[in-house]
Chain A
Amino acid sequence: MSTDGKDIIGFLDETIEGNTESREYEMTWGALASFLNDYEHLKGTRGLTQKDIAASCGTTQSAISRLERMRGKPTYELLRRLSEAVGGSLFVSPMADFSITLPYDLHDRARSLAEKKAVRVDELMHAMLREAIDNAEYRDECNGTKFELVICGSESEIPVGQYAHDVLTGGTIVDEAPSAFSLGA
């Protein structure tokens, strides 16, 4: 048994896929595992105990313990109350492939940026994602030419959105213009 150059996530995926029981479990309960991961993180960060959570949810500690062990079938209402008990809010969507949770180490930064811009965190995230995808597409259109931002000596429009504006007003200016950026004529 060697790693064969695989990373651990790939190996775990392969292990789950290769075992009928694990595969069926993952298909049925994978979303709950993901919920519990975020729930435990918030619970630990706020120093809450099962007893605290049970009191907030109006249930027993053993019911919370069972849920945390992924036993039984938690109701929508219980999941909603659990989310609130740890200071969050429940999010459910059939679009898992297109839904992401911001990595934990970015939460404080995102929150403070949103406060600074007087918007909600989700509004900030949507705007940033849109901008990132627009920029990534634009980079592809430039045949993979590597650049940060190109300015051709005029104040003409630069079609890379807010990112361009931010860089223009305080970021790095790189001059090595791919033709697509030869603006301002």
Chain B
Amino acid sequence: MRFSWYPQFLDPDATAKVQKFIQKDLKKYPDLLSRVRTFLVSVEKVENLDSYYKSGEMAKLEGALHEMRIPPTRRGGVVRIYFCVNPEDSREIMLLDAELKHEKEPGRTDTANRRLKEYLAYLARGKQG
């Protein structure tokens, strides 16, 4: 799989949200940083994500929104990366948002959903244009 990140498709020079999360939040947790890297390296090697859904490391949320759970459960918080698969290229993953999520908090999916809509609208415009 290949990774792209929001909002690379709109403006290659704009701040990448997931990148900001890594630098601002994840950097404080070397163990999670290491786990996230290892996880993404393994995802990069596959061409089909089914086994990650089966293992619970990925889950489908609403609509085209999905999440990576790194690791699936962990006392002290887990990393959630919200993403969608490019509907025109099933080997491309668009990383929309990420957060360090604690057990009892609901996931921050509203921002990811808004970005997802923006991304899908961008793809639709491309088809029309």
Contact = CB atoms under 8 A, between A and B. Distances in A.
Contact of B52 (A22, A30, A104): A104
Which 5 interchain pairs have the tightest Cβ spacing? A44-B55, A25-B30, A103-B45, A33-B34, A105-B46
5 contacts: A1-B23, A44-B55, A45-B55, A69-B74, A103-B46
A45 B51 contact: yes
A33 B57 contact: no
B128 interface: no
Main SS of the interface on chain B?
A: helix
B129 interface: no
B37 interface: yes
B16 A16 contact: no
Interface string B62-86: 0000000001101110000000000
Interface string A25-52: 1100110011011001111110000000
A29 B13 CA distance: 34
Nearest to A71: B31
For B5, B30, B56, B74, the residue with the greatest tally of chain A CB atoms inside 10 Å of its CB is: B30
A33 B31 contact: yes
Contact of A1 (B20, B26, B52, B75): B20
A41 B34 contact: no
Interface in B11-27: 12-16, 18-20, 22-23, 26-27
Interface of B: 2-3, 5, 8, 12-16, 18-20, 22-23, 26-27, 30-31, 33-42, 44-52, 54-57, 71-72, 74-76, 95
A104 B34 CA distance: 19
Contacts of B19: 1, 3, 8, 11
Contact of B34 (A9, A25, A107): A25
Contacts of A112: none
Contacts of B15: 1-2
B13 to A, nearest CB: 5
Given A1-B15, A5-B12, A44-B56, A16 B34 contact: yes
B39 A37 contact: yes
Contacts of B42: 37, 41, 101, 103-104
Contacts of A104: 42, 46, 51-52
Given A22-B27, A107-B51, A1 B16 contact: yes
Contacts of A16: 33-34, 37
A36 B35 contact: yes
Contacts of B45: 103
